[in-house]
Structure formats: C-alpha cells, structure tokens
Amino acid sequence: MDWVPWGDEAWARAREEGKLVIVSVGYSACHWCHVMERETFEDVEAAEFMNAHFVCIKVDREERPDVDHVYMDAVQLMTKRGGWPLNCVDARREARLGRDVFSSPEVAVVVGSGVGGVA
C-alpha cells in the first residue's frame, strides 16, 4: 500500500492524478487496525487496486487527534456508530477540517468503522 501522510501534498497529488482520497485512521494499540492491515492492506490485489484508484492517507489518531475527531464525528453523524479502524473516502480535493465534512456529499464511509465494536 502506498500510504502518504495527511497534508497538502497528498491532496495536491489527488487533484493532479484525478483520484479520490481514502483517509484511514487508526492507532498502534488498536487490535482491529492490525487485523485490517494484515487482511486487507497487505493483500497485493487490494493494495494494487487502491493504489491505482485512490491516494491513500494513513492517519495515526494519537498523532493527529484533530483529523480523527473530524472524521469520527462525521461518521457518527452518518452512521450512528464509529470506531477504529476508521476508513472514509473524501472527494473534496483539499485538506479541509471543519464543519463542511459533516454535510459534504463528497465524504463517505467506505470500509466501515469499529470492526471490533470499539466506540
């Protein structure tokens, strides 16, 4: 998986390549984050597909609680649940954190969140 960090460079790459962005939020002590990494992100076929069609941004919620907070709030408003790993497609084409994430039709939950029921 070709992970890139959260930042303007990732969003510029998405614009330049005409790709959507997948934002994957997790943390090192999260059991289900490791399960998703092993079962999905380390799968060659899945990684090739995601790299071909998306710019994949990896976020550690302990390092970027601001990013985690905004996406978690948006997911909880959309689905009435949340947890980690948290994976969203964001087609807004820029790294904006704020209220527009909550009402934006370009932000969607893709893989689900809280695989292990962690809320």
* pTM summary value: 0.78
| Residue type at position 35 | V
| Residue type at position 34 | H
**Domains located in the chain, CATH noted:** 3-113 (3.40.30.10)
At 27-86, the pLDDT tens digits run: 999 999 999 999 999 999 999 999 999 999 999 999 999 999 888 888 888 788 889 999
- Mean pLDDT over 93-106 rounds to 49
Cβ-count burial 65-82 (b if 16+ within 10 Å, e if not)? eebbebbbebbbeeeeeb
CA–CA dist 94, 21 (Å, integer):
10
Q: Which residue carries 């962690």 as its tokens?
A: 118
- Mean pLDDT over 87-91 rounds to 82
